[in-house]
Copies of this chain bind each other. A is one copy, B any other.
Amino acid sequence: MFKLSKKVEYALISISHIKSSNTDKPISVRQISDKYNIPNELLAKILQTLSKVQILDSIKGPKGGYRLKSSLKDLSFVEFIEILEGPFGIADCMVDTDCSQLLNCNIINPMDKINSKIYKVFSDIKLKQLT
């Protein structure tokens, strides 16, 4: 409960790794998955996602891999999470999902306040700070 997903962690690890590698040569999925002990195919998908949303540049073919997108604007952590996991919310009624308690719910107001607080924490954190 209340855990960051591995997807998010793997993505952060990768971005951080690519950033700190200080090279123009693309970094392959294999290099990262080997070093950090991440399932290769899974990581591949995640980096594909990051490439689709303009966080990474992908280079195909041998010696290919990923580079940080130079034009990358600084995303907030919550935006980053939503790219990988969909809409953010600490309870079902705060995202799309419906909830059997919604009709009579007597805690939705406080829940909503908590949600805002957590959302704010994650908005104030920027991707660049994390990597």
Residues of A within 8 A of B (CB): 1-5, 8-9, 12-13, 16-17, 20, 35-38, 77, 81, 85, 88-92, 100-101, 103-107, 110-111, 114, 117-118, 121, 125, 129-131
Contact = CB atoms under 8 A, between A and B. Distances in A.
Nearest to A35: B104
Nearest to A85: B1
Contact of A104 (B36, B85, B89): B36
Contacts of A2: 2-4, 81, 88, 90, 118
A52 B128 CA distance: 45
Nearest to A86: B1
A86 to B, nearest CB: 9
